[in-house]
């Protein structure tokens, strides 16, 4: 019988063994992809995930300067590792259930997800935006970037669903490579497990990088 602490290790071994050899990832891309596959049991994400060229650099820089994370829904907020984020001094924020978000969305006749991103915009640039469920949150994020000059540090945009989910992620993927860095996946798939696993993988990578740098300084 596999010991509890060895289950994740064995899962990753199986994933690495079964991941088709024609997929070519950087070490960072591989770390994120295997986490997503581990969370979903779905090897198709090896084909669907897309990484902006500066996604990892942007994430590491953001964590280092204590960037906060804004999640589109509470499920995403709950899944992100507070322990690891706190090591960088950051917090996970979510505005979906705030009374003024409810009121503003009702008055305007649009979704609370749109209002959550407007609340995030009011906090300024440099945030990490994590969207796993609401395509309208991603579309509003892109509008604020394009029309309002908003500059999040990184957009993790992986909403799931049948209405505007694929289209919103296509729009994110189509943004200029000099623009806001992103991680996304193509098609209808996505959701909370994908958004959370990407974010937690980035946190683990950032902590590993920091520990390596500290060890090098101490040697």
pLDDT at site 2: 65
Determine the pLDDT at residue 59.
Answer: 97
Give me the catalytic one of 38, 52, 110, 173: 38
Place of tokens 């798939």: 189
The pLDDT value given to residue 201: 97
- Degrees to nearest 5, angle at CA 46 with 43 and 49: 130
Fold of 47-218: Rossmann fold (3.40.50)
Angle between helices 165-173 and 135-148 (to 10 degrees): 30
pLDDT at 166 (0 to 100) = 96
Question: Which residues is 128 bridged to in the sheet?
Answer: 69, 154
Other C-beta atoms lying within 10 Å of the C-beta of residue 78: 13
What is the pLDDT at residue 23? 79
Q: What is the pLDDT of residue 155?
A: 98
Q: What is the pLDDT along the chain (219 residues), one digit of tens a residue?
A: 567 678 888 899 999 998 877 778 999 999 999 999 999 999 999 999 999 999 999 999 999 999 999 999 999 999 999 999 999 999 999 999 999 999 999 998 999 999 999 999 999 999 999 999 999 999 999 999 999 999 999 999 999 999 999 999 999 999 877 689 999 999 999 999 999 999 999 999 999 988 888 888 876
Let me know if 38 is a catalytic residue: yes
Residue 157 to residues 148, 168, 183, Cα–Cα distance (Å)? 19, 8, 6
C-alpha dist (Å) from residue 128 to 5, 29, 101, 150, 169:
30, 18, 20, 12, 16
Q: Where are the domains of the chain?
A: 47-218
């Amino acid at each position: 019988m596999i010991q509890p602490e060895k289950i994740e290790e064995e899962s990753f071994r199986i994933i690495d063994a079964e991941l088709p050899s024609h997929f070519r990832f950087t070490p960072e891309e591989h770390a994120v992809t295997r986490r997503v596959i581990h969370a979903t049991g779905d090897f198709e994400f090896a084909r669907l995930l897309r990484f902006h060229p500066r996604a990892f650099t942007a994430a590491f820089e953001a964590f280092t300067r204590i960037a906060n994370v804004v999640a589109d829904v509470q499920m995403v907020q709950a899944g992100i590792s507070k322990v690891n984020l706190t090591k960088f001094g950051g917090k996970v924020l979510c505005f979906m259930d705030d009374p003024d978000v409810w009121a503003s969305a009702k008055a305007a006749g649009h979704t609370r997800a749109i209002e959550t991103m407007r609340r995030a915009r009011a906090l300024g640039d440099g945030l990490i935006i994590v969207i796993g469920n609401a395509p309208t949150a991603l579309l509003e994020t892109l509008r604020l970037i394009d029309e309002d000059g908003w500059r999040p540090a990184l957009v993790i945009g992986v909403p799931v669903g049948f209405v505007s989910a694929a289209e919103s992620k296509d729009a994110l993927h189509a943004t200029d490579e000099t623009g806001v860095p992103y991680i996304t996946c193509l098609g209808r798939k996505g959701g909370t497990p994908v958004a959370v696993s990407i974010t937690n993988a980035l946190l683990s990578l950032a902590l590993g990088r920091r520990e390596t740098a500290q060890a090098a300084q101490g040697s």
